[in-house]
Amino acid sequence: MKFLRFLGNEIVLGTLIAVLSVFTAIASYQGSIADSKQNESEVQAIQQLNDGNAEYLSANQFIVYDYTMYDGWYTTDSEDKAAYYEFNYSEQLQNAIAANPDEPFNTEYYDAMYTSAYDLWDQSDASSELAGQWDNRGDGLQLVMLIMALGLAFAAWASLLKEESNMRLLFAILAVITLVAGVITYLGVPAVA
């Protein structure tokens, strides 16, 4: 028991308070950065999703326009009008006709028309995944901050009690335990890829 009495020493308690305070502040700072990055990634994911939806709707309008031009070309009886319709085809329809003149409105055509929307949706999914990783990191750092703040409270209470008090020793031991638990928890906080 005498071996543990040194934990009740003013210098040891002061050091514990300082270390726990700094560690709490670091965890808090890193947690706020993680929360900020999470919000940033979520906003970016929403923006990319909205942009993808707008691109999808835009592609639908171009597809309707291509159908209109193709129908006009198909039903015209004039070479001039046929040339006009062909000139107004989208690049994707021109490529589809070159690849398969009997069935230009095939899967490849639609995939080409929706490429931009698909890319934005994929980016949105990636941003959402990143936001989830930041959220997990932030949650882990909040737990570290809670443990360290609890240890800080134990160390502060210990420093207020008389040096001969068994409660001082108990609070000092609890402060050391929470410091160790906090460090272990900190090392287990997930990193963001």
Q: Mean pLDDT, 10 residues at a time, over the chain (193 residues)?
A: 66 90 96 97 98 97 96 92 93 94 94 97 98 97 96 92 84 93 96 91
∠ CA 96-98-99, rounded to 5°: 65
pLDDT at residue number 4: 65
pLDDT at residue number 1: 55
* Residue ranges per structural domain of the chain: 2-187
Contact 10, 103 (CB under 8 A): no
Per residue in 83-93, is it b (16+ CB within 10 Å) or e — as a string? eebeeebbebb
DSSP 93-117: HHHHHHH-TT--SSHHHHHHHTHHH
